[in-house]
Amino acid sequence: MAKGMRDIKREIKSKQNTKQITKAMEMVAASRLRRAQEAAQASRPYSEKLKEVVASIAAGTKDVKHPMLETRPIKKTGYLVITSDRGLAGGYNANVLRKVTDAIRSKHKSNDDFVLFVIGKKGRDYFRRRNMPIVEEVTGLPDAPTFADIKIVASTAVQKFADGTFDELYVYYNKFVNAITQIPTEMRLLPLESVDGSAASTAAYEYEPSPEGVLEALLPKYAETLIYSALLDGKASEFGARMTAMGSATKNATKMISNLTLTYNRARQAAITQEISEIVAGANAQS
């Protein structure tokens, strides 16, 4: 019994150490979540204004032609998938990877029919294990990523669509709702069918050298901005998911410690009772 009590006490200590770690990780994730939310909100005015200008040019220019606005027969598809570098975030990575995998399996019969652009180690490792074609990857992003951190993968994805390497581009990421809810989201990025006159401003703009020339420069920037906005949304979702997961782990550890403490106290009481019984029995034997 004494050995069993030592094992229980050792297990309680182990659970207490785990609880301290998960609690610390929960607090860190909560702090980073606040900053990530602020970054996501700060990026929206820029993307909205850029969309307004693009829509204004598209609405005011007749017969606008640009590779990023033209729908063409689908021969090959590009997928840009946003995941995290680290785990311990509940279903954050699994949910979005499952969604993109289901889409690929339903649409394509061969790996030659699609290409992947991956942000995050979890996504990169997942697709590598399945021998899926990764064209570009970005890992090791900071907690507060800048556009420069993903410029290569974003510009490469947009440029390859414009060059005709593939005929449509989808972005998969976790849309942030709150700390508890993150929605795996599929966004068709290219061609830019959503750019129309409904988002145009009533303000009058003058363009140099020409509206077409400005549109030529802005459309790739607009698409890259949407990718960056999805990344910021994904970062907020990552910290929200990690905070929730670590909070649940802390609660579970607390419950396990309580149960183990109860078991330990019962074992200790049983040991004390047995010792008393042995003393009484010994005293009776001597009398």
Cα–Cα dist 45/53, whole Å: 12
pLDDT at 5: 85
What is the overall mean pLDDT for the chain? 88
Cα–Cα dist 197/206, whole Å: 17
Cβ atoms within 10 A of the Cβ of 121, count?
19
pLDDT at 68: 81
Is residue 280 pLDDT above 90, yes or no? Answer: no
- Own/partner long-range contacts of 97-106 (Cβ < 8 Å, ≥24 apart): 97/122, 97/123, 97/126, 98/184, 99/172, 99/184, 99/186, 100/170, 100/172, 100/186, 103/79, 103/170, 103/172, 103/186, 104/79, 104/132
- For the entire predicted model, the pTM comes to 0.86
Do 55 and 198 contact (CB within 8 A), yes or no? yes
CATH fold label, 28-244: Pyruvate Kinase; Chain: A, domain 1 (3.40.1380)
Do 130 and 118 contact (CB within 8 A), yes or no? no
Q: Where are the domains positioned within the chain?
A: 28-244
Is residue 141 pLDDT above 60, yes or no? Answer: yes
Tens of pLDDT along 169-201?
Answer: 999 999 998 888 999 999 999 887 655 555 555
Q: When comparing pLDDT for 218 and 73, which is higher? A: 73
Mapped onto helix, strand or coil, the DSSP state of residue 8 is: helix
Do 171 and 80 contact (CB within 8 A), yes or no? yes
The residue type found at 274 is Q
Tens of pLDDT along 156-169?
Answer: 999 999 899 999 99
